[in-house]
Amino acid sequence: MAPIPGGYDHLVEAFKKRFNAAPALVVRCPGRVNLIGEHIDYSGYSVLPMAIKQATFVLARLNGTTKINLINTNPTTYPDYEHDTSVPWDGTKSPKWHHYFLCGWKGGVQELISSNKAPKSLGIDILVDGSVPPNAGLSSSSSVVCAALLTTLAVHLHLDTTRIDRRGIADLAARVEHYIGVEGGGMDQAIECLAEEGHALRIDFNPLRSTRLVLPSRAVFAVLHSGATMNKGATDYYNQRVVECRIAAQIIAKRLSHCNWREVRTLKHLAEFLSKDADEMIAVIDRHFEDDLVTREEVLHELETSDIDFAEYSLNDSTADSKFFSLLAWA
């Protein structure tokens, strides 16, 4: 993240053509691939991702108004959008491309306010470009969220990036993505904010920590796309898996009476209560669940709780009406 370097001339010219002014900065935020630990970050377990060359690019400048003017280099697919910052934005359940940017922007503003650096004017002119294939499992959406958050902080802090804590930003970016209804685990945001060239990162959670692992200098990683796409923000499929892992952990906690099931949020959390390592937890899961699919009524019976209580401690907005849960398959 820096004032405009070389190599972005075509984006700078596109920005000038649209806004009649030069951008103040460019932010680059990469996509990622996960080498080890697929779909376990939201259960609290460690993962090993690395960043890829493909990235989201954001060019920005303050405009002295209350308006965020968002344009994309691919306007046919991603139409222009204008947001008035004087109007509160509290998220959406049907996200479009600009909502991912607003997630990061809102997180950046919240960070500035909490640090007593609230800007007088929130208006920004924004041009977004990207090379991360969308809906391909390379974290294109989180790349936009992280880039937006970093852009908001950098442009309002007048490019003083020494005042930006990348680890804190990664943690915040994971939280604000909930504004578009995604209850992620934090891996995507961590690698996209903390990545270093030539390294993969082991990411640990609660608290967020990262450990660099040097990649072989002559290694080649082939990342292949099957052609199948999935927009995790536009469907309930992803959040359903997160919830199913949580419910499995809560049922086991209830059966073993080692802790209050309402306090258990992840399988890793349960493992810590039980003093079990990952291999031992697999045996615990297999021992407690013979049938994969369970009904909502069966879960309520297991937890000895009301539907209202269940919704508060186990579900999220997108799964509030779920009637069936596949516990064994995902846990």
Which sequence positions are flagged as catalytic? 188
User: Is 204:182 a contact under the CB 8 Å cutoff?
Assistant: no
**Angle, helices 237-256/267-274, rounded to nearest 10 degrees:** 20
Which sign, positive or negative, has the C-alpha torsion 209, 172, 244, 223? negative
User: Is 26:13 a contact under the CB 8 Å cutoff?
Assistant: no
User: Is 295:305 a contact under the CB 8 Å cutoff?
Assistant: no
Beta-carbon contacts of residue 54 (< 8 Å; ≥ 6 apart)? 30, 31, 130, 131, 132, 133, 138
Which sign, positive or negative, has the C-alpha torsion 91, 97, 102, 108? positive
Angle at 216 between CA 213 and CA 220, to 5 degrees: 115
Q: Can you tell me the distance from the alpha carbon of 274 to that of 280, in angstroms, rounded to the nearest whole number?
A: 10
Six token digits for residue 23: 């951008």
In this structure, what DSSP letter does residue 3 have?
Answer: S
Residue showing tokens 């009524």: 297
Residue showing tokens 């990664």: 170
